[in-house]
């Protein structure tokens, strides 16, 4: 993957991986006044039943996830902090039934046994000028071309920078770069074997019934010694029919691997 950053990211340096904010810096109430804390308790069990004679895989754990988001300080430029902490306790699993990549809640130790627990945390600094928010640190992006996985006991996260700008009404612009990935089952902040991910995209509301989005990402993976580029297109049209609405929602992905030159195109409507 080429070493590059988009002009907006170079100038502003930092960014936010959160959705567009409804208010701008002029409406900031304060670091504490606009802060929020929520705690999630998650009990999860997963089982994979193989039909080819292999040992079935299963894991069970109890997780607790705390998320804190501060408001922005008042002034021309507002500053804030987002942070999270997560802990998972293994309730059941054995050496024979654990360690299956993709469904593992806990990594295996040097003896091949699943760890008894896993703890992780992260934080990011954010700044807001007008309707542009910037952040650097441990982020959990939710984008069509880069979405943090929260489908297991604990969520994963990425370390990097991101920009989200809503200066033009109806238009959201986004750009970011990440250099580390924390896996769902591992405590390490750079446990995902990631070399780098660059993302850029925008969404626009053309009218009350038509909106669209275009995103792209460039991924470089160390462990797999591969890189790939992905583009995403969305068009959404809502057709009023009497008191109801018929929605046409087009989603298209185009992915190309650099090493093997394999390509994949998929779309839905």
Give the DSSP letter of residue 27: G
Mean pLDDT for the stretch of residues 129-151:
94
- Kindly indicate the confidence band of residue 99, based on its pLDDT and cuts at 50, 70 and 90: low
Domain 7-268: which CATH number of 2.40.50.250, 1.20.1090.10, 1.10.357.10, 2.40.160.10: 2.40.160.10
Say which range, 63-67, 205-209, 245-249, 255-259, has the weakest mean pLDDT. Answer: 255-259
- Kindly indicate the confidence band of residue 21, based on its pLDDT and cuts at 50, 70 and 90: very low
- Kindly indicate the confidence band of residue 220, based on its pLDDT and cuts at 50, 70 and 90: confident
CA angle, 132 as apex, 128 and 137 as ends, to 5°? 60
SS3 call for 115 = coil
Find residue 176's DSSP bridge partners: 162, 199
Asked if the model's pLDDT at residue 185 lies above 60, the reply is: yes
Closest by CA to 87, choosing from 123, 125, 116, is 116
- Predicted structure pTM score: 0.81
Pair 201, 215: CB distance under 8 Å: yes
Q: Which pLDDT score, from 0 to 100, does residue 9 have?
A: 37
Question: Domain-by-domain residue ranges, the chain?
Answer: 7-268
Q: Which pLDDT score, from 0 to 100, does residue 235 have?
A: 98
Mean pLDDT for the stretch of residues 197-216:
96
d(CA 94, CA 162): 40
Q: How many CB atoms lie within 10 A of CB 112?
A: 10
Say which range, 84-88, 109-113, 187-191, has the weakest mean pLDDT. Answer: 187-191
* Residue 146 CB contacts under 8 Å (≥ 6 apart), including other chains: 158, 176, 178, 197, 199, 217
């Amino acid at each position: 993957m080429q070493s590059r950053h988009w002009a907006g990211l170079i100038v502003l340096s930092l960014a936010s991986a959160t959705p567009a904010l409804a208010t701008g810096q002029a409406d900031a109430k304060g670091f504490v006044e606009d802060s929020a804390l929520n705690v999630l308790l998650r009990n999860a069990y997963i089982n994979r039943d193989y039909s080819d004679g292999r040992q079935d895989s299963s894991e069970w754990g109890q997780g607790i996830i705390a998320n804190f988001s501060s408001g922005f300080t008042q002034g021309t430029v507002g500053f804030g902090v987002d942070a999270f902490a997560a802990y998972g306790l293994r309730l059941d699993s054995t050496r024979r039934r654990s360690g299956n990549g993709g469904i593992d809640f806990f990594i295996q130790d040097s003896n091949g046994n699943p760890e008894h627990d896993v703890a992780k945390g992260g934080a990011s600094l954010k700044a807001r000028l007008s309707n542009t928010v910037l952040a650097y640190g441990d982020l959990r992006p939710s984008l069509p071309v880069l979405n943090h996985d929260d489908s297991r006991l604990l969520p994963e996260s990425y370390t990097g920078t991101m920009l989200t700008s809503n200066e033009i009404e109806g238009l959201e612009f986004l750009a970011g770069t990440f250099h580390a990935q924390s896996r769902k089952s591992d405590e390490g902040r750079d446990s995902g074997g990631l070399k780098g991910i660059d993302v850029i995209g925008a969404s626009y509301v053309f009218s009350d019934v038509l909106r669209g989005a275009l995103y792209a990402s460039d991924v470089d993976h160390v462990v797999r010694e591969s890189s790939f580029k992905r583009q995403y297109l969305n068009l959404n049209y809502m057709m009023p029919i009497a008191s109801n609405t018929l929605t046409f929602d087009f989603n298209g992905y185009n992915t190309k691997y650099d090493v093997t030159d394999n390509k994949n195109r998929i779309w839905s409507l």
